[in-house]
Structure 1
Amino acid sequence: TNTHTHTYVLEDSGASNDDFNSLADLIGEINNDFSGSIQVTLNSSGALEFSYDGTGNATISITSNNAVLESALTEANGTVSDDGAGNVVTTTTDEFSHRATENDLLVNLRNSSGQSLNLSSGDALAISCLKNGALITGNFTVSSSSTLADLNTQIASVLGLSETTQVSIDSSGRLNIQGDPGADNELSAISISESNNSVLGSTMSFTEIQEAKDAKYSTNVTIYDALGHKHTLTLTFKKTVIPGQWTWEAQLGGDETISAGGQGKLAFNPDGSLLSFTYDGGATALQFNPNNGADPMNVILDVGTTSSYDGLTQFSAPSAVVINSQDGYASGNLSSISIAQNGEITGLFTNGVTKTLAQIVLAVFNNPSGLLKVGDNMFSTSANSGAPAKGAVGEVIQSTILPGSLEMSNVDLAEEFTDMIVAQRGFQANARVITTSDDMLNELVNLKR
C-alpha cells in the first residue's frame, strides 16, 4: 500500500510538496508521487483519467475530509487493471468534469480550475452593471439551498430584463446574459462579487460582451379628436433578436392617457411581406383619452394586408414609414359655397374639408298655367296645375343647372314692338273718335242757340 496525503492551500509554493490549490496542481502532485506507475490526466472533456502501466490489479482510492469532495471521490474511486493482453483498463469519472447547471447549489460551486468559489450561507453578493451608461445595483443573499437558478432570477430582476430566461447557464457552465432589444438597453461593466472573495470576482468576470446594435425607426402622424383638437402620435419600431420580428410602441406628446393598444408586435415573412401585426394585451385598436373634454378615441392602425406588399414591408434598405392617410381634421368654419350642375350645394371649410350641404330639387307640372300666383314671384299648386313631379337634377327631370349664370331676356322683342305699335295706333284712332264726337256735340249746342 502506497499512501500519499495532499493538502489544499490558497497558494501553492511549488511542486513535490504535497500541497495543491487547483485540479491541475493536484494531478501534478499525484503523478509525481507514483513515479509513472500511475498516471492521471485531464482529458479534453474535463474528465480525470487514471492509467496503470504495471501488471496485475491495482486499486486506487482517493479520500478527503471535505464532504463535497469526498462525495465526488467516492464516485471516482475504482480499480485499474491489466486485461491480460497488455492493455490498460482506464476508469473515468465526470465528478471532476462536471459543468455547472442551474440546479447546482451555490455553496458547492467551483471554478474551471477546481477551486471552490468559497460561497457559504449568509454571504451577500453585489450585482451591478451599466445599462445604457446608467449604473444599476442590487444584492443577493446566499442560503444553504440557493441554486444558480435562484441567482439567475435575481440577476434578471436587478438588470430589469423582460424575461428571467434571458439569464441562463449554457452547456459549458458559463453564465449568459441577454439584454433587451435596442441600444438604449445596452449592458456593460457587469459585476457579481462578494467582499474579500477574489476567487468569485475573477470567476464572475464577463470576458465576452457583445456590443448592442440598434435597429429602430420612428414616424409621426397628426390625429384629431371629436372637438377638432390635434394630437401628435409617434410610432416607434424596434428590431428584435429574432429575424423578421419587431416590436412597436405608440406615444402621444401631450396630456393624453393611453388606456390600451399602446404597443405590440410586428412580424414579416421571409419574402418581406407582412406576416402579422398585433396589439399587446388583446387590444384591437389604440385607445386613449384626450383629457381635453373630447370623447375617448379608438385609433385603428392600418398597416396593410398580410402576405402582401400594400403596407409595411421589410427589405434590405434604409427604413422609411409613410403615413398614407388619416380621416381626421381640425375644426373649421364655412368659408364659401358653390353649386354644381347637378344641383349639389357644396361648402368649403377653412380646414380644407369640402362637404355637400344640400341638394336642389326641381319640380314639373302637367299644367304650369294652372298654378296660383301668391305674389313675389311665388306660385302654389292647384287642381288645374296637377301634382308636381319632384326629383334631383338629371334624375326625374332631365335638365341641368347653370350655376353662376344670369338668365338673358326670354321676350320676343319684335313681336312686342309690333303689339306696342298696334296698341299705339288703336289708341290714336280711339282718341280721334272721341275728338270728333266732342265737335259734333258742340255743333248741336250751337244750333239750339
Structure 2
Amino acid sequence: MTEVDKKGKEGAMFSFYIPTAALNEQKKTLELLGENIANLNTPGYKTRRITFVETLGTVAGVSQLMFKQGAVTYTGNVTDLAIKGDSFFIVKKGEEKFYTRAGAFSVDSSGKLVNVDGYVVQGWMEDIRGGSEAEATSTITDIVIDPDLIMPAKATENVWLAGNLNAGLESTREVWATGSAFTKKATLVSSGITFPLNVTAGVNDQFKVTFNPQFGETITEELTLTAGTYNDIDSLVAEINNQINASGLKGKVEVVNAGGSLKFRAIDGYSGTTLTLSSGTNDVLSDLGFVDGVSSTSGDLADESTELNDLLQVTTSLVTGDSFNIVGKNRDGESVSGAFTYTDGATLGDLVDTINNIYSGYSTAKLENGKVVLEDDEVGDSSTTISLSASDGNTGLMSVPSFVNTESGYTARVSTSMVVYDSLGESHNLTINFTKTENTGEWNWEIVASSGETIVKGGSGKVLFDSNGSLISFIYDGGVDALTLSLSNGAEDLVIRLHADEQEGITAGITQFNAVSTLHTKHQDGKESGTLNDFKIRSDGAIIGYFTNGEEAKLAQIALAEFANPSGLKRVGGSNFISTGESGVPNIGKAES
C-alpha cells in the first residue's frame, strides 16, 4: 500500500469515528434524560445533565449533578424531613458515611433513625438527665430513639410559695362566703297601669325597646300592640311577649308580671347589657307606666330584695317547686341540712332566711356586696361548713357559686398543700400552715407531714412582713436553712428549701396585705419518672421527646453537612452520595431554625 493510499484510508476511518462518537454521546444524553424522568418523584433525587466539550476534534459529554431546591411535600409522618438550602443529611452504613438530601426516614426495630436503604442517620445524642447540650463540634454518632427510654425521677430540692396572707385576719369568727357575688339583670318596672287599657291602632299602639349588649350589636325594635282592650296585667304581658318573640329581641328580652306591675327583663346572661324603653311613633309607652328613655344596665350587685329570677346567675327562670339543698356542719361539727323551695317572686333574702333557720344558734347568714356570707355567732375554733346546690329535676337553671372559707375561727391560720417527689419518683403530700401571732406582721409556719414522712429538722419557723406588707424574712427554727424529711420507702432523705421571696421568672413571693388569702405553691422542681410517649422533630433538627410524666427533653440533634462544591459529589446509588476531592470535605453542623 502506497503512502497516499495509507493516508486516505486513515482519513476515511477518522471521518467515520467523529459521527460515531457523537451518536454515542447523544445516546448517553437520552439515557440520562430517561433516568431523570424515572426519578422525577424520588425524594432527594438530584438530576444530572450532559455538558459537551470538544476533545481532539470530537465532542465528548461530561455528566454533571444538578443541585437545586426541590418541592417540599407534607406527608404527615413525623420522621419525613426536607432540607431548605444546600446541606445534606449524613447517614452511615458500617464505618462508611454517605450524604443525602432524601429525608424519608423511619425508626427501625432497634430504635435507630434510618433512611430507606437502612443507613443510620447521624447526629448528636443528648443526656436527658440534664447537663450541657451536645456541641456541634463533637463527634457525630448514630441517632437512636429508644422506645423504652425512661426519664429518671428527680427529688424535689426547692419549693416556691406565692400569694397573699391576709393581714386583717384575727382570732375571730369562722366565716364562709360565696366565691362570687350575685348580680342583677337589667330590669325595668312600670309605675302602674290603669285597666282596662284600650289600645287603638295608629293612636296608642307602639313603643320602642333597645337591647344594647356588652358584646354584640345593638338591637332596637318598635313593637306594635294588637288593638283592643286589655283587662289585666297577664293579658298585656302575653301580648308584649308575642310581639317580642316575633322580633329581633326574641331570646334577649322578656316581660313578666311583677306583682301586678309590668317588668321588662334582659335575659342574655351577661353583665354590661343595657335595656332602654322609648316612645313609639304612635306612643303607648306612657300608658304602660314608663317614661321615655328609661333604662337599666345589668351587672349591679344583688341585694336581699332582688328576685331570684332577676339574677344574672339564673339562665332559665325558676318555677314554683324548684329547690336548692343546703348541707354542712355547725361550729361544733354536727351535720345540718335543709332545703330552700322556690315560690313565685322569691328573693335572695328568702334564701338567706332559710340558711339562717338551718344554722340557728350557731351561725348567721347575711348578704354583703352581693355575696352570701355565713359567720359564726361566737369566736373560736370552728367546724362550720356549708354548701349550696340545685336539686335534680329543677325546671329552672341557676349557676350556684361555691362557698369558700374566707376566715377560720379563732386561730388565724392560712394553709396550702404541696406535692413533692423523692429520689424514687414517689410523690408526698405536705401541708404548710401559717398562723398569725399577736405581733404585728409576724406569722408562725409549720409543715404537717403524712404517715410516710418524718420531719427531721426545718419543719417550722417564722415569717416577718414590714408595714407595707412586703416580706422581710423567712426563718427556720433551729438555725437550719432547709426542711429535711426522712422517708419510709427507702428513698434518700428529702432536703427541701422553701422560698417565700420573689424569684424572677418563677414567683412574686408572698405578701401580707389586707386582702383575701391566696397562698399557694407556685412551683416545685421535682418530678416522677416517665417513659417516652412520643417525639417530634423541630425545624432546627432537634428531636424532642415527650414523656408520660408530662416532661419533655431534647433527645438528639440531627447533623447536616455542607460542601464547597456539591456538584463534585459522587452518586453511589439511589439518593446517596460520597465526598470526593472535587466536592471538598464536609462542613458539619446544625440546621438553623
TM-score by length of 2: 0.29
Larger radius of gyration: 1
Would you tell me which structure has more helix in proportion to its own residues?
A: 1
Q: Which has the higher contact order (CA 8 A, sep 6+)?
A: 2
Greater per-residue strand proportion: 2
Instruction: Normalising by structure 1, report the TM-score.
Output: 0.38
